[in-house]
A = this chain, B = another copy of it.
Amino acid sequence: MTTQNIASDFVALLKVGKDHEAAARYNADDIVSYEAMDGPMAEMRGKEALRQKGEWWVTSHEVHSAAVEGPYVNGDSFCVRFTYDFTRKETGERLKMDEIGVYQVKGGKIASERFFYAT
């Protein structure tokens, strides 16, 4: 599969809310994830660690609306834009998030993901 094929299928799954299936199908076992924050989630390694992070996110946030735009492709990489309206269950805070993910593909799998936030 080309980067374009992978990007299109990955994003098609995200657009119908199948985030776990997208990650299960395309994340490399040794994927590295870079968040734009300090702390334990700044750099996470491994498909299983990211699966757990995804589960944590889903159970600790209530999503009111979400939009996924893309993919935007260049060479071995692609971008996806996410906009969310959600409530953090722990605090009751309602927040909007505007985020771009940049994914790098190697050998048919996503080798890294890096998230950028509107500031």
Contact = CB atoms under 8 A, between A and B. Distances in A.
21 contacts: A7-B119, A8-B119, A35-B74, A36-B74, A36-B75, A69-B118, A70-B118, A71-B118, A72-B98, A72-B100, A72-B116, A72-B119, A73-B116, A73-B119, A74-B114, A74-B115, A74-B116, A78-B116, A79-B116, A81-B100, A100-B100
A81 B69 CA distance: 11
Contact of A102 (B35, B81, B102): B102
Copies of this protein in the assembly total 2
Given A72-B99, A72-B100, A98-B72, A77 B4 contact: no
Contacts of A74: 34-36, 114-117
